[in-house]
Amino acid sequence: MQIGDNHHLYIGGCDAVELAKSYGTPLIVYDEKLIRTTIQAFHEVFRRAGVPYQISYASKAFCTMAMCQLVYQEGCGIDVVSGGELYTALESGVPASAIHLHGNNKTPDELGFAVDVGIGAIIVDNFFEIALLQDIAAKSNRIVDVLIRVAPGVEAHTHEFIATGGQDSKFGFDLASDQAHMALRQLADAENLRCVGLHSHIGSQIFDVDGFVVAVERLADLYQYGVRELDLPLTVLNVGGGFGIRYTDEDAPPVAETLSAIIAATRQTFEARELDFPTLWIEPGRSIAGPAGTTLYQIGSQKRIPGIRNYLAVDGGMTDNPRLALYGAKYHAVYANRADAEPEDTWSVAGKCCESGDMLIWDAELPNPKPDDILAVFATGAYNYSMASHYNRIPKPAVVFARDGVATVVVERETWSDLIRKDRRLADL
Ligand code: LLP
């Protein structure tokens, strides 16, 4: 946290209080340099290990044109999971060849769009999709590079709603029951699909490296089967994303160590099978976007319930950050206008939506609020704006990138009239 002589919080060299004044609240502010240095640190681990790799930013964490431009400029490809994300990435100027399409139920329109624009790869999720995609690719007379998504049966140590790699999952081909082998056999026969790799994603906000290592070992067996038995042109091992970040002091993210352990496990398992080292793909979303984002809110109403709890409400809430309501997520916050003030009491930060679960932080240690206070909630860069809703007809906040003291609006604040833009009045009322 950067604090100026005026005791204000600074983000990307910009005074957060001034940002709130200029652009209004709630406001999501990204430290642009932090996004860049985070990506550079990922590159550095691979470069030092001297292995072929590709970093694909999981845009679901925060998908806007500016973000796509930025991560592409830093040498990342882009992962998309819908036609909307694909459209955003393409409109931002990222070439289709640098984009990969994921999803457990890609529609024929989405697959057709991806094939037509010449997408870099499609991560095939199920048998239904193999048939559909083969058909679409054949009709457009294209050969499409695909990876298969494997559910390796690994339980990542994370919240159950965001664990995706276990056997009982809607994602991917089950490894234990040989469905993944069968998928490879089908792909070997699919004339318009070229299976270039294997993929697994075992969950999100993971701190424990063991799950990744087990996944790599299991995928290596399948990889060997694909290369040796089926003669598939496999070159890619994609271990997904999921690297945990620091939301509060309880979290200690070992991203570089985790990556190094994944590289070492890949080296060991592939050497043991006398396979060439594959191109290792990762798909980080949260770890790239999350730490760089801070949400600024204007403090509003307060309420003390003697002996029970103090509530402090802000001018946003679950509409811009549903993560506490969904996952019981924890956040750290300060007042941006007195960022080094000592805590005086415990304040639970509530949003302004009409439901009790609309909370941002339970029992935060904070100074007693004053009317001008601007609350800054840290690490809100991933899965906040991208999961924002219009519940209670609350417009979505503005987003700015701050760098070297200059702020640039990358998403404009929505207005009330934006909210009714797609509404149609009944003619006879
Ligand atoms: N690759 C695949 C196939 C994924 O499903 C995901 C995330 C990622 C990569 C990126 O994972 P990350 O590096 O961001 O952890 N809304 C939840 C997170 C859902 C993650 C879904 N998949 C949250 O707010 O915590």
Kindly report, residue by residue over 24-73, the tens digit of the pLDDT: 999 999 999 999 999 999 999 999 999 999 999 999 999 999 999 999 99
Residue 24 has a pLDDT of 98
Nearest CA to ligand 1 atom 22: 204
Q: Binding residue per annotation — 10? A: no
**Catalytic residue list:** 354
Task: Give the distance from CA 2 to its chain's centroid.
Answer: 25
Ligand 1 atom showing the smallest separation from residue 285 Cα: 14
Residue 249 has a pLDDT of 84
Query: Which CATH code for domain 2-30+292-419?
Result: 2.40.37.10
Best of 56, 60, 63, 160 for a ligand 1 pocket test (most atoms within 8 Å of beta carbon): 60
Cβ(183)–Cβ(195) below 8 Å: no
Q: Determine the distance separating the centroid of ligand 1 and the alpha carbon of 284, expressed in angstroms.
A: 8
CB atoms near residue 343 (< 10 Å): 12
H or E segment and range at residue 72: helix 65-73
CATH 3.20.20.10 in the chain: give the residue spans. 51-287
Using one digit for the tens of pLDDT, what is the confidence trace for 174-191?
998 999 999 999 999 999
Nearest CA to ligand 1 atom 15: 242
Q: What is the mean pLDDT of residues 125-133?
A: 98
The tokens of 144 are what? 């499409």
Q: What is the mean pLDDT of residues 299-323?
A: 98
Q: Binding residue per annotation — 304? A: no
Q: What is the mean pLDDT of residues 323-342?
A: 98
When pLDDT is cut at 50, 70 and 90, the band that residue 161 belongs to is: low
373-385 b/e with 16+ CB inside 10 Å = b? bbbbbbbbbbbbb
CATH 2.40.37.10 in the chain: give the residue spans. 2-30+292-419
- CATH 3.20.20.10 for the 51-287 domain, yes or no: yes
Q: Average the pLDDT over each of 78-87, 252-261, 364-373 and give the range with the smallest value.
A: 252-261
Cross-strand pairs, 346: 365
The yes-or-no verdict on residue 117 having pLDDT over 70 is yes
When pLDDT is cut at 50, 70 and 90, the band that residue 159 belongs to is: low
Mean pLDDT over each residue of the chain, to the nearest integer: 95
Q: How big is the CA angle at 287 (ends 282 and 289), to the nearest 5 degrees?
A: 110
When pLDDT is cut at 50, 70 and 90, the band that residue 262 belongs to is: very high
When pLDDT is cut at 50, 70 and 90, the band that residue 272 belongs to is: very high
Residue 274 has a pLDDT of 97
Per the rule left: phi > 0, alpha: psi between -120 and 50, beta: everything else, 85 is alpha
Q: Binding residue per annotation — 242? A: yes
**Sign of the four-CA dihedral 261, 244, 63, 27:** negative
Q: Binding residue per annotation — 323? A: yes
Nearest CA to ligand 1 atom 19: 162
Q: Determine the distance separating the centroid of ligand 1 and the alpha carbon of 202, expressed in angstroms.
A: 9
The yes-or-no verdict on residue 160 having pLDDT over 60 is no
Best of 286, 330, 331 for a ligand 1 pocket test (most atoms within 8 Å of beta carbon): 286
Q: Binding residue per annotation — 355? A: yes
The yes-or-no verdict on residue 142 having pLDDT over 70 is yes
Q: Determine the distance separating the centroid of ligand 1 and the alpha carbon of 350, expressed in angstroms.
A: 26
In this structure, what DSSP letter does residue 204 have? S
Residues with CB under 6 A from ligand 1: 58, 61, 79, 102, 162, 164, 201, 204-205, 240-243, 283-287, 323, 327, 382-383
Q: What is the mean pLDDT of residues 65-84?
A: 98
When pLDDT is cut at 50, 70 and 90, the band that residue 427 belongs to is: confident
**pTM listed for this prediction:** 0.96
User: 341-349: long-range contacts (C-beta < 8 A, 24 or more apart)?
Assistant: 341/7, 341/367, 342/367, 343/367, 344/368, 345/310, 346/309, 346/310, 347/302, 347/310, 347/311, 347/312, 348/309, 348/310, 348/311, 348/312, 349/312, 349/313, 349/314, 349/375, 349/377
